[in-house]
Structure 1
Amino acid sequence: MHRDTELTELVRAAGSLLLCPRDSAASHHTAARIWGGIVPEDGFVHISTTGVRPKVQGIRAHRVKAGGQQCSRLGGVRVTTPVQTFLDLGSALGLVDLVVLGDSLVKAGEVTPEQLVEAATTFAGTGRRTVRRAAGLVRREVDSPMESRTRMLIVLAGLPEPTVNHKIRWPGGSVRFRFDLSYPDHQLIVEYDGRQHAESEKQWGGDIGRREWMDSKGWRIVIIRAKDIYNTPGQALQRISSAMRDKGMVVPQLSGEWRLHFPGLPGDVTELA
C-alpha cells in the first residue's frame, strides 16, 4: 500500500487478516467501527477465526465454530455482518454500551431495530440475556451516543421512556425543530448538550431562538451535560423527576438498576433508589 494511505479501521483489519488463517474475519469492536458503530476504544484489531489464533501484538483473536458467524465483504475485506457484530459484542459490552452500539448502527443505516430483535430472539451465545434486552431498547433516529446514554439513564431508573427526535413542523410540513428526548403530551424536553453548543456561534444562535419559542409555548427543557451522566447521574435524575412532576406527569418510584450502569462519583445524591 502507498505510504500516504489513510490508516482506517478497514485498512488495519485488512493488514491484520494477512497474519491470520484464511477463514478469518474482522469482528467485534473492529467490525462495529467499520460499519459505523460506536464502541469503546480498546486499542486492538479484533479478528474471529475457526483456525489457530495468531499471537500477535495488537491483534485480539476470537475462536469461533465453523459456520458459526455470518460474514460479508467490504472493500475486499471479510467482516462479520452488522447484526452478527451486535450479537458477538453481547459478551464484551455492558447493557448501555450495547444499546449505544445498536442505536449507532441503526443511524448508520446498517440495521433496523426489528432485525436486531429478531436475531437476538434466537441467539444462544454468551451474553444472550444482555443482547435480547439491549436489542429491545434500540431506537431509530438517535443522533449521538450521549443521547443514547441519557435515554438509558432515564429508562433504567424506571421513569417513562421519552420519545426520540420529536419534530415540530412549520405549517407547510417541513421540520422546524427537533427535540432529542421529549414527552410531547406534557411539553417536557430532556436534551443532551455537548461542547459544540457552546463553541459554535451558529449552534448557539439556533439554540437561543428555539428556546425562546419553547418558552412562548410553555415547553420545559432539562439540559444534560457529560458530567451529569458520568459524575452526577443521581442529581440528573432528581432534576428530570422534578421537571416531570412540575409538568403534571406521574413519577413512579425509581428503580435502583440505574446505579449498576451509572455509578457516578462519591458525593452524588444518595436518597434516590
Structure 2
Amino acid sequence: MPAIGTLSCMRTRPPVLDSRQPFRRAEALATGITIRELTGPKFQKVLHGVYVAAGVQLTDLVRARAALHISPDGSYASHHTAARIWGGTAPNDARTHVSVPDPGSRSERQGIASHRATVDADVRSWRSTPVSSPPQCFCEIASLGAGLVELVVLGDSLVRAGVVTPTELIAAADAWTHRGSAVASRAARLVREGVDSPMETRLRLLIVLAGLPEPVVNFVIRHENGDWRLRFDLCYPELKLLIEYDGDQHVFDSMQRARDLERREELQRIGWRIVTIQKQHYYAQPARVLERIRQARLDCGASASSCRVRTTWMNHHT
C-alpha cells in the first residue's frame, strides 16, 4: 500500500497542458502558469480568455479550435472559417465562425460569429477538428446573403483546392432548404474546374452575366504532335480569340513582362488574337472591358447576334 505522502503527491500533481493547442486561462492557472507568464512573451491570446504558445501560427484552423474549445459539445467550425480551412476563397470576414447545436449557448465573445447548427449538417473531420464540409460551407455562406459572384469565386476555389466537384456543389445547393438556396443553386451551376484565381472567375462572370457566350476555361494550345504549348485563362477556340487576365505580377515583374511579349508574338504568328484585361480595367471600366471583348469577337468572325451585350451584369458587378 503506497505511503500517505506518495498519495498526497499524486493528488496535487498539476495536469499536463499542451500549449501548442488552444487552452483556457483557468486551465493554464491549474497547471501552475501565472497570469504574468500567461500575458508574457511565451504565450499569445487567440480569443478572450483563450491562449496558445507564442510560436504557434494563428491559422484559421487554430482559431477554429480556440472557438470550439469554449463552445458546447457538438459544435463545429462553419461558414467562412470552414471555407478557408478547406482552401477556399471566402468573402471577407475576419471573424471565426462556429455552429452550435443549442442556440442558447452561443458564444458572444468578440471575434466569434456563432450560428445555430442545422439538423442535417454535413460535418467532417479535418485534422481531428469538426468542420462543415465544402458543400455545406458553400451553402452556409449563401445563407448569410453572399452575392452570386462571391459564391462562384468560392466554388471555383474549393474545386481548385481539390476538396469538392461542381457536381457535388450543385447537389448540395439543390438540397439546401434554408435561406440562400436560390442563389446557391445558380452559383453552383456557374462553378468550373481549372480556374486559377478569383479574378479569372470575376472576369468570366462579367462576360457571362452580360449575355456573351461563355469562354472555355484554361484553354491549352498544343503543338501539331499534341504536346502542350501554351495555356490561357479564357478562350473562344472557334474564333481563335483569347481573353487573358494579367495580375500584378505581369505589371511589376520585368521578367514576366518579357515572357508575355514573346508569348504574344508567338500567338500573332500562329494566327491567334488576345485581349488582355488588368485589374484597373475590370474595376474601373467594366463596360469598356465588355466592349473590347464584343468588338474582338466581331473582328474574329462571330455573328452579330452572339455579340449583344446586356446590362444585367450591372446587378452583380462589385
Say yes or no: does 1:7 pair with 2:58. yes
Q: Provide the aligned C-alpha RMSD in A.
A: 1.4
Query: 2:279 corresponds to which residue?
Result: 226
- Percent identity (aligned): 46
Alignment map for 1:1-273 (pairs within 5 Å)? 1=20, 2-51=53-102, 52-65=105-118, 67-92=119-144, 93-250=146-303, 251-262=306-317
SS at match of 2:157: helix
Question: Aligned equivalents of 2:262 and 2:139: distance in 1?
Answer: 43
1:106–1:112 CA contact under 8 A, matched in 2: yes
Which moves more between the two structures, 206-215 or 102-111? 206-215
Q: SS at 1:84's partner residue?
A: helix
Aligned residues: 262
- In 2, Cα distance between equivalents of 1:209 and 1:76: 49
Structure 1 Cα separation of the partners of residues 69 and 221 of structure 2: 51
* Structure 2 gap segments, 5+ residues each: 1-19, 21-52
2:134–2:158 Cα contact (<8 Å) kept: yes
User: 2: CA distance between counterparts of 1:133 and 1:262?
Assistant: 16
Distance 2:228 2:257 in 1: 19
- 1:47 & 1:131 partners in 2: Cα distance? 20
Structure 1 alignment gaps of length 5 or more: 264-273
Distance apart, 1:203 and its partner CA: 2.3
**Per-residue Cα deviation, 1:77-117 (whole angstroms, up to 9, x for no partner):** 11000011111111231000000000000000001111111
Bigger relative contact order, structure 1 or 2 (CA pairs below 8 A, ≥6 apart): 1
Is the 2:294–2:308 contact (alpha carbons within 8 Å) kept by the matching residues of 1?
A: no
Question: 2:294 touches 2:309 (CA, 8 Å); kept in 1?
Answer: no
Would the aligned equivalents of 1:229 and 1:262 in 2 still touch at CA under 8 Å? no
| Greater shift in the superposed pair: 214-223 or 129-138 | 214-223
The structure whose Rg is larger is 2
Please state whether the residue corresponding to 2:280 is helix, strand or coil.
helix
In structure 2, distance between residues paired with 1:86 and 1:197: 31
AA in 2 matched with 1:262: H
| TM-aligned CA deviation for residue 122 of structure 1 | 2.1
- TM-score (normalised: structure 1): 0.92
TM-score by length of 2: 0.79
The whole-number CA distance in structure 2 between the counterparts of 1:170 and 1:106 is: 28
Q: CA deviation at 1:20?
A: 1.0
Contact 1:90 1:128 (C-alpha < 8 Å) held by counterparts: yes
- Once the 2 structures are TM-superposed, how far is the Cα of residue 243 of structure 1 from its aligned partner? 0.8
The alpha carbon displacement at 1:120 in A equals 1.8
